[in-house]
Chain A
Amino acid sequence: MTTLLAAFDLLLSLTLLGLAVAALTSAEPRRGVILFIAFGLLLALVWARLRAPDLALAEAAIGAGLSGALMLAAARRARRRRSPETAPRPSEEQP
């Protein structure tokens, strides 16, 4: 059982670090924000595993939810400002 728990811890940590790297290195603003929201949800998972349900609740509701929504709005504004007179739907979603 200890081995299984250790495997779970290791997988969780590696996924969290991978998600952080992906969020920090994505150049397109909206994809970075979506990855950051996913990072916050995984962080809440870690804190649930470390017996801190209050922190997991706060992180999921305001850390990922509220600040993610604020950043999404900011990313949309930045995109509209960068190309106001070109196509109304700029297709910068090429991976």
Chain B
Amino acid sequence: MIAYLLIITLVLMLSIVVGLVRVAIGPTPSDRMMAAQLMGTSGIGVILLLAPVVEVSALIDVALIFALLAAVAVAAFTRRRVTESGG
């Protein structure tokens, strides 16, 4: 069971690496934001899957903070751009 969870975790880490490559090569800021969103979601998944592996159930709270932070981050990036393009 634990080994299976670790395999799933490895797949999600692969998805984080893909997001990192997208953030690095761009080409547009939209792509960077999308890749950041994918990295955040995969990070939440990895933390949730690690909770039974290392037997720390408090990790679910950490994932909750990650989810809140992702929402705030996307809103902050987009708001900044709208005000900037307005003037």
Contact = CB atoms under 8 A, between A and B. Distances in A.
Interface of A: 1, 4-5, 7-8, 11-12, 15, 18-19, 22, 31, 34-35, 37-38, 41-42, 44-45, 48-49, 51, 53-54, 56-57, 60-61, 64-65, 69, 72, 76, 88-89, 93, 95
Contacts, number: 100
Interface residues of B, number: 43
A32 to B, nearest CB: 12
B34 interface: no
A41 B40 contact: yes
- Sorted from nearest, which 6 A-B pairs have the closest CB atoms? A4-B6, A53-B58, A95-B26, A1-B3, A56-B62, A11-B13
